[in-house]
């Protein structure tokens, strides 16, 4: 059975397809709450749900030219969200396996003195990776990951929204991981540190 669209939704979708940011905002207002609630039910984590919600609407914007205003948009939108959730759980599963493996290796290989030396090297490498971030991302990463502030506390200090903090933090963590992975002599201790994020 075909879903019936409202005329308003079809107009918004047609304008979105043409690149209208106003139409994009209208579609966001129409569906963001429903998608977020579904994501929260599936993920049980507000920060991850918020991050995936951003990814869903970024994907809509990037693929706006492919939208067919005559087709059921809500189903399309929920399918994109569902795919992001599957990707998240697949990645989480891989990360947990990697974390277990790294913990086993670390237990077998490292002594206390080696850990002290590695921590010093890791701290320097982490500092270097953080310094390579754009200024606002560096501030968000430092506040949340280094100083342990919540998303709301960081948002209040920086005068931005919690969702913007979440977005910056996701991108900053990814950039820092990539920097450390590419650096010479990556230690297992540092990789374990980032497996917590």
pLDDT (tens digit, 9 = 90+) per residue, 35-45?
Answer: 999 999 888 88
Residues 120 and 75 in one domain: no
Residues 114 and 76 in one domain: no
Number of H helices, E strands in the chain: 9, 0
Residues 118 and 53 in one domain: no
Q: What is the pLDDT of residues 127-181, one digit of tens each?
A: 888 898 899 999 998 898 888 899 899 999 999 998 999 998 889 888 888 887 7
Contact residues for 167 (Cβ-Cβ < 8 A; gap 6+): 51, 54
Of 58, 88, 118, which marks where a domain is finished?
88
The tokens for 194 are: 């980032």
Q: What is the pLDDT of residues 106-116, one digit of tens each?
A: 666 555 555 55
Residues 82 and 137 in one domain: no
In the predicted model, is pLDDT for residue 184 greater than 60?
Answer: no
- Looking up tokens 């701290």 gives 123
The tokens for 189 are: 């201790």
Residues 14 and 81 in one domain: yes
Residues 114 and 165 in one domain: yes
CATH number of the domain within which 191 lies: 1.10.10.10
The tokens for 188 are: 């297992």
Which residues constitute the domain of residue 165? 110-195
Residues 66 and 120 in one domain: no
The tokens for 1 are: 């059975």
Q: Is 131 within the bounds of a domain?
A: yes
Q: What is the pLDDT of residues 13-33, one digit of tens each?
A: 999 999 999 999 999 999 999
Q: Is 105 within the bounds of a domain?
A: no
Helix (H, G, I), strand (E, B) or coil at 18: coil
State residue 1's pLDDT score: 34
Residues 115 and 173 in one domain: yes
The closest alpha carbon to 122, from 70, 194, 20, 26, belongs to: 194
Residues 84 and 114 in one domain: no
| Residue environment code for 84-106, b if the CB has 16+ CB neighbours within 10 A, otherwise e | bbeebeeeeeeeeeeeeeeeeeb
pTM: 0.47
Residues 84 and 18 in one domain: yes
The tokens for 103 are: 């913990």
CATH number of the domain within which 52 lies: 1.10.1740.10
Q: Is 98 within the bounds of a domain?
A: no
As for how many domains the chain has, the answer is: 2
The tokens for 42 are: 């599936």
Yes or no: say if 16 and 64 are a contact pair by the CB < 8 Å rule.
Answer: yes
Residues 62 and 120 in one domain: no
The tokens for 12 are: 């918004």
Average pLDDT, the chain: 81
Residues 15 and 79 in one domain: yes
Q: Is 93 within the bounds of a domain?
A: no
- Looking up tokens 């005068």 gives 159
Distance of alpha carbon 127 from alpha carbon 124, whole angstroms:
5
């Amino acid at each position: 059975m075909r879903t019936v669209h409202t005329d308003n939704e079809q107009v918004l979708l047609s304008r979105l397809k043409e690149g209208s940011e106003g139409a994009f905002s209208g579609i966001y207002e129409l569906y963001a709450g429903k998608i977020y609630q579904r994501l929260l039910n599936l993920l049980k984590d507000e920060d991850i749900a918020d991050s995936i919600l951003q990814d869903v609407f970024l994907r809509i914007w990037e693929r706006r030219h492919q939208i067919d205003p005559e087709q059921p948009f809500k189903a399309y939108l929920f399918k994109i969200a569902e795919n992001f959730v599957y990707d998240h759980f697949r990645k989480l599963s891989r990360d947990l396996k990697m974390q277990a493996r790294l913990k086993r290796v670390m237990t077998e290989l490292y002594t206390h003195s080696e850990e002290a030396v590695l921590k010093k090297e890791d701290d320097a490498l982490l500092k270097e990776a953080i310094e390579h971030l754009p200024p606002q991302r560096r501030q968000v990463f430092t506040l949340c990951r280094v100083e342990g502030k919540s998303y709301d506390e960081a948002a209040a200090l920086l005068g931005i929204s919690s969702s913007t903090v979440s977005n910056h933090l996701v991108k900053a963590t990814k950039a820092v991981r990539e920097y450390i992975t590419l650096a010479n002599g990556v230690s297992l201790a540092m990789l374990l540190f980032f497996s917590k994020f």
